[in-house]
Amino acid sequence: MSALVSIPAAPFAFPLDPAHTALVVIDMQRDFIEPGGFGEALGNDVSRLTSIVPTVAALLALARRLGWPVLHTRESHRPDLSDCPPAKQRRGLPSLRIGDPGPMGRILIQGEPGNAILDAVAPLPGEWVIDKPGKGMFYATEVGTLLANHGITHLVFAGVTTEVCVQTSMREANDRGFDCLLIEDATASYFPEFKAAAIAMMTAQGAIVGWSTSLAALSEAVGRDYAK
Ligand code: TIU
């Protein structure tokens, strides 16, 4: 472990290990976020998600300045749906299921326009991009191996949606021994009450799943540390 940086956070200061930290950006995909995509077609108010894009972009810029590895995920399936459990495919609106033609191509299928990450928060060459068939980023992916190979012990989380793929990924990471910090203004849900509840339940009981803070608090704390 290298020198820890104390980040003001809920429920108490997060002990960041900057030399062993990666930024994880979950599923910032057009189909979830852009007006005219799958998320909106399901009746969701996507403006709650579009509003975090500048903050996620600023968080990415901070991580890149600090030299942290960046891991982007996409919720996606193979075109033949061989990695999609029938139980998952049966869910959702009967008229718009995984693999069906949607407003931006086949829904949640790799390579389709709607499956792409938004340009404003797009991965740079060399950053890790993981296609995940589940809500959690460890399930049926190489994420565990990747993070272990790079000595990562601390994860900073952003992305959508807070109570679905972000929360599932944080819980998976927590069970695997990672210290996890969620950036509250860089995550969003279609349902503000679910976002608030997800953050409250993860940080309760002495950070039972992890910590949460704002981009400003993270930025100020790491900036101060790096200015030393
Ligand atoms: N990325 C992610 O959270 N996938 C979802 O399906 N989220 C919903 O909130 N539906």
27 is catalytic: yes
Mean pLDDT of the chain: 96
Name every residue whose Cβ is closer than 8 Å to that of residue 179 and which is 6 or more positions away in sequence.
14, 15, 17, 153, 154, 155, 210, 211
| Dihedrals phi, psi of 198, to nearest 5 degrees | -65, -45
Pocket test for ligand 1, best of 75, 88, 91, 121 (most atoms within 8 A of CB): 75
The answer, yes or no, to whether residue 77 has pLDDT greater than 70, is yes
Tokens for 1, please give them: 């472990």
CA distance linking residue 192 with residue 49, whole number of Å: 10
Cβ pair 20, 28 in contact under 8 A: no
Of the residues 31, 84, 135, 165, only one is catalytic, namely 165
CA distance linking residue 70 with residue 76, whole number of Å: 19
Residue-level pLDDT at 178: 99
Q: Whose CA is nearest to atom 6 of ligand 1?
A: 164
CA distance linking residue 12 with residue 207, whole number of Å: 8
pLDDT tens column, 27-62: 999 999 999 888 998 899 999 999 999 999 999 999
Residue-level pLDDT at 78: 98
Mean pLDDT of 107-114: 97
Residue-level pLDDT at 34: 96
Residue-level pLDDT at 64: 98
Helix (H) or strand (E) holding 131: strand 128-132
Q: Whose CA is nearest to atom 2 of ligand 1?
A: 165
Mean pLDDT of 9-25: 98
Q: Whose CA is nearest to atom 4 of ligand 1?
A: 165
The answer, yes or no, to whether residue 227 has pLDDT greater than 70, is no
pLDDT tens column, 85-102: 999 999 878 788 999 999
- How would residue 224 be classed by pLDDT, with cut points 50, 70 and 90? confident
- How would residue 205 be classed by pLDDT, with cut points 50, 70 and 90? very high
Residue-level pLDDT at 228: 53
Cβ pair 118, 28 in contact under 8 A: yes
pLDDT tens column, 138-167: 999 999 999 999 999 999 999 999 999 999
Residue-level pLDDT at 201: 98
Exposure b/e, 40-73, CB count within 10 A at least 16 = b: bbbebebebbeebbebbbbbbebbeebebbbbbb
CA distance linking residue 165 with residue 130, whole number of Å: 13
Half-sphere exposure of 222 (CA within 13 A, CB side): 23
Task: List residues near ligand 1 (CB under 6 A).
Answer: 27, 32, 75, 160-161, 164-165
Tokens for 93, please give them: 């609106």
165 is catalytic: yes
